[in-house]
């Protein structure tokens, strides 16, 4: 009897396993979006899903310039203090109601509402007032002169009729019953945490793929395997280690994309010995950045707080080259002496307690290699990896660290004020330079693109000179998509922006 138990169980298992039906496009996320409400976007997985379900007044075209989506056009007043937006007629929400100007007014009001505490509030702060002129026309009044307001009108519009008022809670029922105007509607939240999206039949534009499924695959290593096994059709971001394998596979196509993000090792600028600029510079000179980058992928090394393709990147600032001799001079000047294996001051070896976020992909490899490099140069490195909650508490809230390895990602405005202004919200390393503060303030106030460019390039030079962090690189990113999906163009940030054109064979 016992002998027959196992085959019997497996046989039962095979019988129970249902066959799959119509072919959806399946993509993977590390963690399923906990809620679907664009007012409270906290993760990129939510932003990607929202891109399929919701739409903004404007969106990006393939050249990343603004093109109308729920709007048909915009007339900017001569004083640039207001604009009239004309809305597309015949657009319906996924519950059958018509899309009107009231929805636009509601969305802006809900985002601005204090008690809503929307994570997107910053996006609509430039709008002072919304006036509904008729069903398909709204007038926006701005806080100050705007040169290209359409670039700021990409936020997702929500259906006013689904909410009681503009004070919306994260727990509002909308989070699991999202209604948008986008090409796909949420059909089902499944028991295995996956989300099924179905084509919205009354969509005001065309879309080709019938069904899209978001699958939660917590194990990142497993994601690329699943793509190779043809159990997924799309992988949003390929780990550099998997590039070679996926490239060799004839059923998968790799799509490179540029992101506005760069990696860095940030110092706690007000904590000894990192409060001494000579120490920070010496550490910068002891790191061989190219050797750190090589094992984790390809990219471009940056010399300051912008990506190399940015208009604000100052190409005159040269990236520091490894220079052990100069580093030794700087450390000696800062009072350190090499005794035994390590550089020490007052009998204490120079120690870098390096903190990194556990789920920042490939950070592990970088930290290990960095530790290996610096140890061989006489700097002790003690790495710690923190989970997200602990990271946010320790680094963001308490700012309790020696040095962090992390990356910053920006939208196209590439506004680094919060990172480098002495009063910036994300200036965790307490970097302070009055000149940089002034330049950043001026850049924020100016609407003239040329002036802004000049100011921010100066910011680049000054920041690079102060060494508040070791600027590392901007990484080349790749998506991997099955060749059965045709006409693929991916958006570098939201991924699905142009998915209406995609076809699934």
Partner 1 sequence: MSRVAWVLLAVVVCIGLVAPFGDWERAMTVIPTEAGLGPSPGHPLGTDHLGRDVLARLQLATSAFAGPGLLACAVALVLAVPTAAVSAYRGGVLGSATRFAFTSLAAIPRFVLVLLVLSIYGDSPTTLALAVGASYVPLLGEAVYERIERLRGEEYVLASQAHGLAGGRILWVHLVWFACGRLIGRHLLALFGFYLVLETTLSYIGGFGVQEPHPSWGNMLVFEWGRRSLVDPGLLAPGIALWATLALTDWASESLGEVEHG
Partner 2 sequence: MLRTLLGRAVLTVSSLVAAATAVQLLLWAAPGDPIDLLPNGAELRPQLEAEWGLDQPVWMRVVTNLGRAATGELGTSLSYRPGTPVTEVLAQPALNSFALLIASLVLALAWSAGLAAFTRGRRQHTSRLVRTLSVAPVFLLAHLCIHGLNEVTWSLMEAGTIARPAWFALPGEASAMRTALAVVLLAVGSGALADMHREAEQALISIRRSGFVDAARARGEPTFLLVARHLTLPLASLAAARTGFLLGGLVVVEKVLLINGAGAILWQAALLRDVPVALGITLMAATTVCAARLAADALRVGIDPRLRSQA
Write out the two tokens for 322: 């490894």
Q: Which residues bind partner 2 (CB under 8 A)?
A: 1-2, 5-6, 9-10, 12-20, 31, 34-35, 40, 42, 115, 117, 119, 121, 169-172, 175-176, 190-193, 215, 217-219, 222, 225-226, 228-229, 231, 387-394, 396-397, 425
CB of 331 or CB of 381, closer to partner 1: 381
**With CB under 8 A as the contact rule, which of the stretches 13-21, 31-39, 370-378, 451-459 interacts with partner 1?**
370-378
Residue 231 lies near partner 1 (rule: CB under 8 A): no
Tell me how far, at minimum, the Cβ of 11 lies from partner 2, in Å: 10
CA distances from 416 to 15, 127, 272, 419, 424 (A): 57, 21, 25, 5, 9
How far, in Å, CA of 277 to CA of 71, rounded?
A: 51
Alpha-carbon distance of 374 to 397, in angstroms, equals 28
Instruction: Tell which one of 118, 224, 260, 310 touches partner 1 (CB under 8 A).
Output: 224
CA distances from 464 to 331, 411, 434 (A): 19, 22, 15
- Please identify which residue in 43, 364, 442, 446 interacts with partner 1, judged by CB under 8 A: 364
Q: Is 240 in the site for partner 1 (CB under 8 A)?
A: no
Query: Phi first, then psi: what are they for 136, rounded to 5°?
Result: -120, 20
Q: Does 73 bind partner 1 (CB under 8 A)?
A: no
295 contact, one of partner 1, partner 2, none, CB 5-8 Å limit per kind: partner 1
Q: Does residue 342 sit in helix, strand or coil?
A: strand
Q: Is 397 an interacting residue with respect to partner 1 (CB under 8 A)?
A: no
| Rounded distance between C-alpha atoms, residue 428 and residue 271, angstroms | 12
Q: Mark the segment that binds partner 1 (CB under 8 A) among 124-132, 383-391, 413-421, 423-431.
A: 383-391
495: left (phi over 0), alpha (psi -120 to 50) or beta: left
Minimum Å gap between C-beta 357 and partner 1 is: 12
Min CB(231)–partner 2 separation in Å: 4
Among partner 1, partner 2, none, the one that 385 touches (CB under a kind-dependent 5 to 8 A) is partner 1
Token duo for residue 245: 């394998």
Cβ 138 to partner 2 shortest distance, Å: 26
Distance CA 366, CA 297 (A): 11
- What's the CA angle centered on 185, arms 85 and 208, to 5 degrees? 85
358 belongs to the binding site for partner 1 (CB under 8 A)? yes
Structure tokens at 392: 């946010």
**Distance in Å, CB of 233 to partner 1, minimum:** 20
In the complex, the smallest distance separating the C-beta of residue 218 from partner 2, rounded to whole angstroms, is 7
Dihedral of the alpha carbons of 399, 295, 291, 394, in degrees to the nearest 10: 10
The reply to whether 345 sits near partner 1 by the rule CB under 8 A is no
Which pair of tokens denotes residue 349? 């070896």
CB of 364 to partner 1, least distance (A): 5
Q: Residue 13 touches which of partner 2, partner 1, none (CB < 5 to 8 A by kind)?
A: partner 2
Tokens of 184: 């796909």
Q: Report whether the peptide linkage leading into residue 374 is cis, meaning its omega lies within 30 degrees of zero.
A: no
Burial class (CB in 10 A: 0-12, 13-18, 19+), 164: exposed
Min dist CB 389 to partner 2, Å, is 3
170 binds, among partner 2, partner 1, none (CB under 5 to 8 A by kind): partner 2
**Site residue total, partner 1 (CB under 8 A):** 23
Q: Burial code of 379-396, b = ≥16 C-beta within 10 A, e = fewer?
A: bbbebbbbeeeebeebbe
> Who contacts 397 (Cβ-Cβ below 8 Å, separation ≥6)?
none
Phi-psi bin for 251: left (phi > 0), alpha (psi -120 to 50), beta? alpha
Q: Which is nearer to partner 2, 166 or 190 (CB)?
A: 190
3-state helix, strand, coil in the chain (%, to 5): 30, 25, 45
Partner from partner 1, partner 2, none contacting 399, C-beta within 5 to 8 A by type:
none
The reply to whether 51 sits near partner 1 by the rule CB under 8 A is: no
CB of 194 to partner 2, least distance (A): 8
Q: Which of 81, 243, 360, 368 binds partner 1 (CB under 8 A)?
A: 368
Binds partner 1 (CB under 8 A): choice among 291, 333, 438, 451: 291
How many Å apart are CA 87 and CA 71, to the nearest integer?
4
Using the minimum distance from each CB to partner 2, give the nearer residue, 211 or 323.
Answer: 211
Among 36, 367, 459, 490, binds partner 1 (CB under 8 A): 367
Question: Three-class SS string for 37-91?
Answer: CHHHCCCHHHHHHHHHHCCECEEECCCCCEEECCEEEEEECCCCCEEEEEECCCC
Nearer to partner 2 by Cβ, of 121 and 452: the residue is 121
Told to check if 42 binds partner 1 by CB under 8 A, we report: no
* Cβ distance to partner 1 smaller for residue 117 or 294: 294
365 touches partner 1 by CB under 8 A: yes
Opening angle at CA 279, ends 393 and 277, nearest 5: 85
Report the nearest approach of partner 2 to the CB of residue 119 (Å): 5
User: Does the protein bind partner 1 through residue 241 (CB under 8 A)?
Assistant: yes
Binding site for partner 1 (CB under 8 A): 221-222, 224-225, 241-242, 291, 294-295, 358, 364-365, 367-369, 371-373, 376, 383-385, 387
């Amino acid at each position: 009897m016992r002998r027959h138990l196992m085959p019997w169980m497996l046989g039962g298992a095979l019988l129970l396993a249902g066959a799959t039906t119509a072919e959806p496009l399946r993509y993977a996320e590390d963690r399923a979006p906990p809620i679907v409400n664009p007012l409270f976007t906290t993760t990129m997985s939510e932003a990607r899903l929202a891109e399929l379900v919701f739409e903004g007044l404007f969106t990006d075209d393939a050249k990343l310039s603004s093109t109308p989506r729920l709007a048909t056009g915009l007339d900017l007043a001569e004083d640039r203090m207001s604009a009239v937006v004309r809305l597309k007629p015949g657009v319906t929400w996924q519950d059958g109601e018509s899309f009107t100007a009231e929805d636009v007014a509601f969305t802006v009001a809900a985002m601005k509402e204090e008690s809503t505490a929307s994570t997107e509030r910053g996006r609509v702060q430039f709008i002072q007032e919304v006036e509904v002129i008729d069903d398909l026309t709204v007038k926006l009044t701005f806080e100050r002169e705007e040169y290209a307001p359409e670039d700021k009108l990409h936020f997702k519009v929500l259906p006013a009729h689904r909410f009681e008022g503009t004070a919306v809670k994260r727990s509002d029922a909308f989070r699991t019953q999202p209604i948008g105007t986008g090409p796909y509607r949420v059909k089902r939240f499944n028991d295995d945490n996956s989300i099924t999206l179905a084509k919205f039949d009354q969509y005001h534009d065309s879309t080709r793929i019938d069904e899209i499924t978001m699958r939660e695959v917590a194990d990142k290593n497993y994601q690329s395997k699943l793509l190779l096994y043809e159990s997924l059709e799309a992988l949003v971001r390929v780990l550099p280690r998997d590039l070679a394998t996926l490239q060799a596979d004839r059923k998968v196509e790799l799509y490179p994309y540029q992101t506005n993000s760069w990696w860095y090792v940030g110092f706690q600028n007000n904590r000894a010995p990192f409060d001494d600029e000579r120490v920070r510079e010496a550490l910068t000179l002891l790191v061989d950045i190219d050797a750190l980058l090589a094992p984790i992928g390809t990219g471009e090394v940056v010399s300051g707080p912008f990506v190399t393709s940015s208009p604000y990147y100052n190409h005159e600032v040269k990236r520091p080259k490894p220079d052990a001799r100069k580093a030794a001079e700087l450390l000696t000047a800062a009072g350190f002496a090499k005794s035994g294996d390590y550089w020490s001051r007052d009998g204490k070896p120079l120690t870098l307690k390096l903190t990194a976020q556990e789920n920042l992909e490939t950070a592990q490899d970088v930290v290990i290699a960095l530790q290996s490099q610096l140890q061989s140069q006489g700097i002790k490195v003690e790495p710690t990896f923190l989970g997200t909650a602990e990271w946010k508490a320790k680094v963001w809230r308490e700012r309790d660290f020696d040095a962090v390895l992390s990356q910053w990602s920006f939208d196209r405005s590439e506004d680094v004020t919060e990172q480098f202004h002495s009063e910036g919200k994300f200036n965790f390393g307490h970097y302070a330079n009055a000149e940089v503060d002034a330049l950043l303030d001026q850049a924020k106030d100016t609407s003239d693109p040329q002036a802004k460019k000049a100011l921010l390039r100066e910011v680049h030079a000054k920041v690079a000179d102060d060494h508040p962090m070791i600027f590392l690189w901007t990484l080349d990113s790749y998506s991997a998509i099955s060749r059965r999906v045709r006409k693929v163009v991916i958006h570098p940030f939201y991924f699905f922006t142009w998915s209406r054109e995609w076809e699934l064979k």
